[in-house]
Amino acid sequence: MKILKIYTICGSILIMTFFSACSEESDVGISQGKKLTSQYIQEAEDIDKESYAGLEDVFLDTKTIQGQESKITLLIFGKNRCGYCDKIKDDIKNSKSLQNTLKSHFLPYYINVSYAKNHLLQFQNTPESTLSTSTLMETYVKSPMRPTPTLIFLTPTGEVIYELPGYIPSNEILALLEYMQSQKWKGKDKDTISLEINESLRNAFMDFMKE
């Protein structure tokens, strides 16, 4: 019976995570139809930075997305008029623990897919490449309908470690970040990593319920 309850809770967490998201739909389509002139790109970059106003000391400029030894690259894909995207940013603003963890152990980027930009990718032992915002999302976000927010964790060489579609509360995000920075995922396949992350999220959820 206890095992059944645990699996029920885990399943509920995953279902809530998937549905706590905004579908991709129209904004990316608008971006795809824009001609990437120099003036438009600069305007988009300026507007893009406004997407994470108040978190400029946490999120890095998306013009160049890098990999770095001893740090994990984190891509957070969001868009305009996405309530859960705003909520995850508010959670970070309201949590010094999240801010400090992101700045100390990650290279975090908030990518607003409502605007078309060019991103220079510089990962270790990998040729440089330049991708538009829509292509960047298509390359890394594999979840159905490409919901926002979606969190993508990358190795210094640009390989995907884990993809999290949708919103989860701040205590669960912190648990996820702690798992990533622990490097426990190294040398494991994605199914094993997913199981271990689900366990971390379940424990964070149970701890929250005890409070």
Domains and CATH numbers, the chain: 39-169 (3.40.30.10)
Listed in order, strand segments (DSSP E) in the chain are 64-66, 72-78, 106-112, 118-122, 129-132, 150-154, 160-165
- Tens of pLDDT, residue by residue over 15-33, are 445 445 676 544 444 344 4
171/210 Cα distance (integer angstroms): 13
Mean pLDDT of all residues in 58-79: 96
- Tens of pLDDT, residue by residue over 92-106, are 999 999 999 999 999
Dihedral class, residue 143 (left if φ above 0, else alpha if ψ from -120 to 50, else beta): beta
Instruction: Kindly state the percentage of the chain with pLDDT values over 70.
Output: 79
pLDDT higher than 50, residue 6: no
pLDDT given for residue 50 in this prediction: 82
pLDDT higher than 60, residue 89: yes
pTM over 0.85: no
Q: Are 71 and 159 in contact (CB under 8 A)?
A: no
